[in-house]
């Protein structure tokens, strides 16, 4: 039995959905606004949220954001009136499972709820039973860019050289780190991961170095830190640029002396670890601007490995899709879906801001959601993340109140800014996308005073 949380300010909808879902054998909690919904999520074991996009007080989009942030494992299904269909589409692009349009068709509601629960179930299964299989994708792709990554891994894995893995979100940095460990003489030892961004500043020292009993309020027992746990193996410092300067100083000391003390302890502990670090930030810039210690940077950056974003190795797209389509099919008996030529065209044009992770999530959703065996372009459009973050999206400009020249210029400026953003300020690429020459684009940038790198 699954537990479903219904969030709608209309009592009629709450009533109908509660009844129907009960009849289908699910547990249901129904609440009328976002605050109550978030409270319910803290106290009840919810598998699926059915969320009205148009709510009083806290809007549905904000509720969705809070759910995705605090309960990423919970699927969200949006309900929307015809007037708010744009918001519903936006919500799907932000990670909602799908949307249902009012007036609700009960058959359709039941099917979509079943699908959402199926996805939940598959994810859980993947997490539990097949965890290693899920985490350890082999490195797929034959592009030159990935070839360089492979060659660097090959060259450096055998030594104890410290490696810094650089690349955007979801490009496969962790995969690279694990591969380095696997190919090293330490592969029989532990691979220990620390995500420096997700540990609160007050706890990171204890997390890294461990603590003695009673060293602070919650230290009820002695605990080993990650450095100690990684002894004889590899320590993966993920999101290293998010470490505070104070912690950086301590990590630097450990690297130099290969020993440290537990928090609240006196005894010096020596360890034998190989360090691999990763970040999605521009770490050289962090160094220049004083947020990352230069000495630590040089220490960890003995071998830099830059993992290229997917849009720079679109040659890998077919192979990746093929691999994930088979791996993430809707069930053990289901046949893997195919992508129509038009769907493929769209995927090739997509900028993949979330890289391989986005691709993987996309395939997972399409496999379960698409009713057709050959996935259409329309389905792809529906489930593909949009490049622009809705939070940053500007309110729609009131072109109607402008004179033609002004409206044209405003529009042109916005388009240029957007294209430059899509291409990370690369003038050649942006001008190609706009169908004008680079020098023409330069002139316009000057005319509008745009900062192409922003």
Residue ranges in contact with ligand ATP by CB under 6 A: 137, 139-141, 167, 169-175, 280, 356-357, 360
Which residue number is nearest to ligand ATP in terms of Cβ? 172
Closest CB 273 distance from ligand ATP, rounded Å = 20
Identity of the residue, 350 or 444, whose beta carbon is nearer to ligand ATP in the bound complex: 350
Burial of 88 (0-12, 13-18, 19+ CB in 10 A): buried
**Partner whose binding site includes residue 109, from Mg ion, ligand ATP, none (CB under 5 to 8 Å by kind):** none
Closest CB 120 distance from ligand ATP, rounded Å = 18
**Could you tell me the CA-to-CA distances from 45 to 13, 120, 262, 413 in Å, in that order?**
22, 13, 37, 48
In DSSP terms, 80 is beta-bridged to 101
The phi, psi pair for 22, rounded to 5°, reads -60, -50
Identity of the residue, 91 or 240, whose beta carbon is nearer to Mg ion in the bound complex: 240
Identity of the residue, 78 or 166, whose beta carbon is nearer to ligand ATP in the bound complex: 166
Closest CB 350 distance from ligand ATP, rounded Å = 16
Identity of the residue, 177 or 273, whose beta carbon is nearer to Mg ion in the bound complex: 177
**Partner whose binding site includes residue 356, from ligand ATP, Mg ion, none (CB under 5 to 8 Å by kind):** ligand ATP
**Partner whose binding site includes residue 167, from ligand ATP, Mg ion, none (CB under 5 to 8 Å by kind):** ligand ATP
Distance CA 375, CA 359 (A): 15
Residue 261 lies near Mg ion (rule: CB under 5 A): no
Identity of the residue, 84 or 280, whose beta carbon is nearer to ligand ATP in the bound complex: 280
Closest CB 174 distance from Mg ion, rounded Å = 4
Distance CA 182, CA 252 (A): 25
Closest CB 290 distance from ligand ATP, rounded Å = 24
Q: Could you tell me which of 73, 82, 49 has the C-alpha nearest to residue 63?
A: 49
In contact, 277 and 163? CB cutoff 8 Å:
yes
Identity of the residue, 50 or 166, whose beta carbon is nearer to Mg ion in the bound complex: 166
In contact, 285 and 190? CB cutoff 8 Å:
no
* Selected binder of Mg ion within 174, 312, 410, 421 (CB under 5 A): 174
Closest CB 327 distance from Mg ion, rounded Å = 19
Closest CB 195 distance from ligand ATP, rounded Å = 8
Residues 328, 329, 331, 332: is their CA dihedral positive or negative?
A: negative
Identity of the residue, 326 or 440, whose beta carbon is nearer to ligand ATP in the bound complex: 326
Select from 54-62, 167-175, 263-271, 409-417 the region that touches Mg ion (CB under 5 A): 167-175
Closest CB 128 distance from ligand ATP, rounded Å = 16
Helix ranges (DSSP H) in 273-340: 283-288, 294-300, 317-327
Cα 119-28-53 angle, rounded to 5 deg: 70
Identity of the residue, 91 or 165, whose beta carbon is nearer to Mg ion in the bound complex: 165
Identity of the residue, 113 or 119, whose beta carbon is nearer to ligand ATP in the bound complex: 119
**Partner whose binding site includes residue 169, from Mg ion, ligand ATP, none (CB under 5 to 8 Å by kind):** ligand ATP
In DSSP terms, 269 is beta-bridged to 260
How do the residues of the chain divide into helix, strand and coil, expressed in percent and rounded to 5? 50, 15, 35
Closest CB 281 distance from ligand ATP, rounded Å = 10
DSSP string of 382-443? Answer: HHSPPSS-TTTPPPPP-GGGS-HHHHHHHHHHHHHHHHHHHTTT-HHHHHHHHTS-HHHHHH
Q: For residue 316, what is the DSSP state?
A: G
Tokens coding 179: 């591969």
Which residue number is nearest to Mg ion in terms of Cβ? 174
> Which residues of this protein are in contact with Mg ion, per CB under 5 A?
174
């Amino acid at each position: 039995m699954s537990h479903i949380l219904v969030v709608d300010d209309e009592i009629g909808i709450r009533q109908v959905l509660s009844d129907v879902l009960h009849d289908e054998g699910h547990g249901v909690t129904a609440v009328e606004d976002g605050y109550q919904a978030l409270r319910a999520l803290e106290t009840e074991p919810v598998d699926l949220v059915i969320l009205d996009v148009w709510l009083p007080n806290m809007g549905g989009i904000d509720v969705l954001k809070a759910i995705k942030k605090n309960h990423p494992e919970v699927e969200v299904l949006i309900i929307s009136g015809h007037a708010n269909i744009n918001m519903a589409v936006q919500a799907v692009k932000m990670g909602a499972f799908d949307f249902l349009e009012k007036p609700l068709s009960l058959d359709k509601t039941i099917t979509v709820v079943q699908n959402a629960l199926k996805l939940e179930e598959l994810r859980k299964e993947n997490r539990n039973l097949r965890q290693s299989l899920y985490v350890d994708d082999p490195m797929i792709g034959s592009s030159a860019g990935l070839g360089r990554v492979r060659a660097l891994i090959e060259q450096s894995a055998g030594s104890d050289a410290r490696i810094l893995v650089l690349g955007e979100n979801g490009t496969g940095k962790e995969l690279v780190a694990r591969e380095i460990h696997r190919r090293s003489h330490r592969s029989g030892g532990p691979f220990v991961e620390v995500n420096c961004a997700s540990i609160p500043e007050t706890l990171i020292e204890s997390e890294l170095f461990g603590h003695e009993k009673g060293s602070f309020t919650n230290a009820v027992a002695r605990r080993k830190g990650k450095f100690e746990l990684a002894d004889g193996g590899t320590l993966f410092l993920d999101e290293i640029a998010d470490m505070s300067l104070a912690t950086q100083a301590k990590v630097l000391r450990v690297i130099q002396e290969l020993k440290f003390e537990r928090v609240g302890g006196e005894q010096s502990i020596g360890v034998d670890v190989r360090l691999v670090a990763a970040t999605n930030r521009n770490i050289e810039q962090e160094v220049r601007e004083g947020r990352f210690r230069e000495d630590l940077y040089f220490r960890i950056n003995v071998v830099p490995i830059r993992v290229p974003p997917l849009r720079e190795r679109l040659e890998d797209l077919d192979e990746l899709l093929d691999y994930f389509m088979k791996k993430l099919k809707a069930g053990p008996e289901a046949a893997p879906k195919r992508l129509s030529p038009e769907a493929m065209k769209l995927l090739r044009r997509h900028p993949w801001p979330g890289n391989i992770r986005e691709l993987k999530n996309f395939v997972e959703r399409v496999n379960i959601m698409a009713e057709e065996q050959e996935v259409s372009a329309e389905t792809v459009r529906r489930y593909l993340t949009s490049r622009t973050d809705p939070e940053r999206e500007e309110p729609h400009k009131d072109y109607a109140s402008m004179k033609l020249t002004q409206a044209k210029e405003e529009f042109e400026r916005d388009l240029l800014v957007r294209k430059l953003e899509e291409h990370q300020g690369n003038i050649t690429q942006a001008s190609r996308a706009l169908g004008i020459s680079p020098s023409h684009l330069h002139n316009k940038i000057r005319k509008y005073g745009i900062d192409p790198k922003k």
